[in-house]
């Protein structure tokens, strides 16, 4: 196969002319023949004025270019879609697959021997890894890194666990308009991703565990000089991979590496979104994530990272305690240390040089975990025939076995309109139910699973209730919240059959979620459901593609035709 600039020539029916034309045009940028004859390392640019999490991307790119050139290769930067969590309508998840398609096709379409993808804000790393796996070119992933922490009235603050906690206090009348505005200016004090164990941090840690990024790259704070030195080193590694033509993602992603990623996901108190993304990534390889096996791992793997929302610290504390290498060292035989990384080293080599930090308490030893079991449990039952997920590490222990009366909201809009109605028939023992918030129903499976506690209950001191839905939840959120109920209600899942006043039983120890209504009654309700029709929003464009091909949460919410095997 041709290398460098000769790769993937534009089709004019004359290869010689195609190369001649390509060189003629690129020389307009001032490149010499010497530069153009080098191996090429493509570098994605996801800088955007709409994406503060990626605010350091220009500096990272400069550092990567330096590393590539110091190694004798040629860096070429190209733009792709950038998605910022709070600037994506209707949701960032709706756009993840579009970014994955854009990134994959740009990697394929343009000549490069290796690629560096730089991302971080929630859905960007998953999209970029899905793309890299499908393109299967040697790839180095660089997370942009977490923000540094904020401070307010002597308290350490972080986006966005504390956004939710303090907003909850504001709703309960515990803090006033002036204070909530002050807090607003202190929650995100630098560029970078949310500095708690949200989806961005989760995916960065998983990426490191998969061997796709350099050791410590998940945790170095975004503004730190070390972040840019790591980017320079990543550029060097990418240049070496361009020459060696490997390792490719298909060589690094094995059953062992996917198992390692799941162990790390459980041990960090990771985001439930991480499970969906890892499933989507695996489905682009010949391997699979099995929900039962993931749940079994959760019974074996303790939560060792003391980070919000499951614990107390923030990403910079995790970093200064030794980062993912130290975590993997503590996990010991739960990690397969023979798994390979982009540098050609194994995780055994990585763990061998993990820093020992005396007195640190962000990474716990196995005999003193934050939680004895892993972050997440997978539930089944007549409400979730294909599964549901609960982040038990961030739930109220007393609600993990609970039976309560259903209070049903038909959609996110309905919930928004009625949840604070003083006349809403709801009490603290009820189970709040949200439907039509799944991959297809909302669309884009919004992070609406963290239903707010109805104001009248919040003001009475209620901090948590059992909440269930086919939606997702931000990794930064907390509470006794059952998510990703599959199949979703919009495609006829049993969540569509729940009525106000039905009893729902959650039993996390038994891994069950059930609607206590007899089967004959449920059949009657199913027969009365209106037939599905195409919603207006899905009649054209990307929305149409999304509506027609989006898979359910247990399959990673990828498009059906983007999986490795293509459309069935």
Binding positions for ligand FES, rule: CB under 6 A: 53, 84-86, 121-122, 193-194, 198, 200
Task: Tell which phi-psi region holds residue 449, choosing left (phi > 0), alpha (psi between -120 and 50) or beta.
Answer: alpha
In this structure, the chain runs to a length of: 568
**Cβ atoms within 10 A of the Cβ of 461, count?**
9
Query: 200 vs 324, which CB is nearer to ligand FES?
Result: 200
DSSP SS3 for 514: strand
The residues pairing with 180 across neighbouring beta strands, listed in sequence order, are none
Quote the least distance from Cβ 473 to ligand FES, whole Å: 13
Q: Which H helix or E strand runs over 405? A: strand 401-409
Quote the least distance from Cβ 193 to ligand FES, whole Å: 4
Query: 46 vs 469, which CB is nearer to ligand FES?
Result: 46
Query: 121 vs 238, which CB is nearer to ligand FES?
Result: 121
**Cβ atoms within 10 A of the Cβ of 397, count?**
10
Task: Output the CA torsion sign for 31, 225, 217, 246.
Answer: positive
**Which residues have C-beta within 8 Å of that of residue 389, sequence separation ≥ 6?**
272, 275, 376, 377, 378, 379, 482, 483, 484, 553
Place of tokens 């009475």: 460
Query: 233 vs 315, which CB is nearer to ligand FES?
Result: 315
DSSP 434-493: E-S-STTTTTS--S--SPPPPHHHHTTT----EEEESS---TT--SSEEE--SS-GGGT-
Query: 71 vs 193, which CB is nearer to ligand FES?
Result: 193
Place of tokens 């640019």: 45
Query: 85 vs 306, which CB is nearer to ligand FES?
Result: 85
Quote the least distance from Cβ 122 to ligand FES, whole Å: 5
Task: Tell which phi-psi region holds residue 442, choosing left (phi > 0), alpha (psi between -120 and 50) or beta.
Answer: alpha
Query: 117 vs 121, which CB is nearer to ligand FES?
Result: 121
Q: Which H helix or E strand runs over 33? A: helix 33-36
Pairing of strands 401-409, 139-143: unpaired
Quote the least distance from Cβ 308 to ligand FES, whole Å: 13
Quote the least distance from Cβ 86 to ligand FES, whole Å: 6
C-alpha span between 161 and 115 (Å, rounded): 33
In 3D space, the residue among 279, 190, 257, 224 whose CA is nearest the CA of residue 60 turns out to be 224
Query: 158 vs 235, which CB is nearer to ligand FES?
Result: 158
Quote the least distance from Cβ 309 to ligand FES, whole Å: 13
Query: 222 vs 407, which CB is nearer to ligand FES?
Result: 222
In 3D space, the residue among 488, 362, 385 whose CA is nearest the CA of residue 435 turns out to be 488
C-alpha span between 363 and 361 (Å, rounded): 6
Query: 314 vs 559, which CB is nearer to ligand FES?
Result: 314
Query: 198 vs 298, which CB is nearer to ligand FES?
Result: 198
Query: 84 vs 142, which CB is nearer to ligand FES?
Result: 84
Quote the least distance from Cβ 132 to ligand FES, whole Å: 20
In 3D space, the residue among 560, 477, 492 whose CA is nearest the CA of residue 159 turns out to be 477
For residues 489 and 470, is the Cβ–Cβ distance under 8 A? yes
Query: 120 vs 298, which CB is nearer to ligand FES?
Result: 120
Query: 111 vs 192, which CB is nearer to ligand FES?
Result: 192
Quote the least distance from Cβ 542 to ligand FES, whole Å: 22
Pairing of strands 376-381, 384-391: antiparallel
Pairing of strands 401-409, 503-507: antiparallel
Quote the least distance from Cβ 127 to ligand FES, whole Å: 13
Residue 27 is given by DSSP the state G
C-alpha span between 171 and 455 (Å, rounded): 7
Quote the least distance from Cβ 112 to ligand FES, whole Å: 27
In 3D space, the residue among 34, 377, 42, 53 whose CA is nearest the CA of residue 193 turns out to be 53
Quote the least distance from Cβ 195 to ligand FES, whole Å: 9
Token pair, residue 43, equals 């570098």
Token pair, residue 93, equals 């998840």
Quote the least distance from Cβ 144 to ligand FES, whole Å: 9
C-alpha span between 295 and 291 (Å, rounded): 6
Quote the least distance from Cβ 120 to ligand FES, whole Å: 6
> Within 301-375, where are the H helices?
315-320, 323-331, 347-352
Quote the least distance from Cβ 57 to ligand FES, whole Å: 12
CA diameter of the chain = 77
Quote the least distance from Cβ 63 to ligand FES, whole Å: 21
In 3D space, the residue among 477, 484, 473 whose CA is nearest the CA of residue 439 turns out to be 484
**Cβ atoms within 10 A of the Cβ of 22, count?**
17
Query: 47 vs 294, which CB is nearer to ligand FES?
Result: 47
């Amino acid at each position: 196969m041709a290398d460098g600039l000769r790769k993937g020539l534009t089709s004019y029916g004359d290869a010689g002319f195609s190369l001649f034309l390509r060189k003629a045009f690129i020389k307009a940028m001032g490149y010499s023949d010497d530069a153009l004859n080098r191996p090429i390392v493509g570098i994605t640019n996801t800088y955007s004025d709409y994406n503060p999490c990626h605010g350091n991307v220009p500096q990272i790119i400069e550092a990567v270019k330096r590393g590539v050139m110091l190694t004798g290769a040629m860096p070429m930067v190209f733009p792709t879609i950038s998605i910022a969590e709070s600037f994506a309508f209707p949701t960032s998840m709706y756009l993840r697959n579009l970014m994955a398609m854009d990134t994959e096709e740009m990697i394929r379409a343009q000549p490069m021997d290796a690629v560096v993808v730089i991302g971080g804000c929630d859905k960007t790393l998953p999209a970029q890894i899905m793309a890299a796996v499908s393109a299967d070119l040697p790839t180095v992933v660089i997370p942009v890194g977490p923000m540094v922490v904020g401070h307010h009235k002597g308290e350490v603050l972080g986006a966005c666990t504390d956004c939710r906690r303090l907003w909850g206090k504001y709703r309960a009348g515990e803090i006033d308009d002036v204070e909530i505005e002050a807090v607003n200016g202190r929650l995100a004090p630098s560029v970078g991703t949310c500095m708690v164990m949200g989806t961005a941090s989760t995916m960065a840690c998983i990426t490191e565990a998969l061997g796709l990024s350099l050791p410590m790259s998940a945790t170095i704070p975004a503004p730190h000089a070390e972040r840019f030195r790591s980017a320079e080193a990543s550029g060097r590694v990418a240049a070496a991979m361009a020459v060696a033509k490997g390792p490719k993602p298909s060589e690094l992603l094995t059953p062992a590496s996917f198992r390692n990623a799941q162990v790390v996901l459980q041990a960090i108190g990771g985001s439930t979104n991480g499970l969906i993304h890892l499933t989507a990534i695996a489905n682009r390889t010949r391997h699979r994530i099995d929900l039962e096996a993931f749940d079994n791992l959760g019974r074996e793997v303790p939560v060792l990272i003391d980070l919000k929302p499951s614990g107390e610290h923030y990403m910079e504390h995790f970093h200064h305690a030794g980062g993912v290498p130290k975590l993997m060292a503590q996990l010991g035989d739960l990690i397969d240390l023979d798994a390979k990384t982009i540098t050609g080293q194994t995780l055994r080599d990585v763990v061998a040089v993990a820093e020992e930090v005396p007195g640190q308490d962000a990474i716990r030893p196995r005999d003193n975990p934050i939680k004895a079991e892993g972050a997440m449990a997978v539930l089944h039952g007549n409400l979730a025939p294909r599964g549901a997920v609960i982040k038990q590490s961030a739930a109220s222990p007393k609600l993990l076995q609970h039976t309560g009366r259903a209070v049903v909201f038909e959609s996110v809009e309905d919930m928004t309109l009625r949840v604070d109605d003083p006349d809403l028939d709801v009490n603290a023992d009820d189970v709040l139910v949200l439907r039509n918030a799944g991959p297809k129903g909302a669309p884009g499976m919004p992070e609406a699973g963290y239903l707010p506690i109805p104001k009248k209950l919040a003001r009475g001191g209620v901090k948590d209730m059992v909440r269930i839905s086919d939606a997702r939840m931000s990794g930064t959120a907390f509470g006794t919240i059952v998510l990703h109920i599959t199949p979703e209600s919009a495609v006829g899942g049993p969540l569509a059959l729940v009525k106000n006043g039905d009893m729902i039983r959650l039993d996390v120890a038994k891994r069950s979620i059930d609607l206590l209504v007899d089967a004959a009654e449920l059949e009657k309700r199913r027969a009365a459901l209106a037939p599905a029709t195409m919603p207006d929003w899905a009649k054209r464009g990307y929305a149409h593609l999304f509506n027609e091909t989006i898979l359910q949460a247990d399959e990673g919410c990828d498009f059906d035709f983007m999986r490795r095997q293509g459309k069935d």
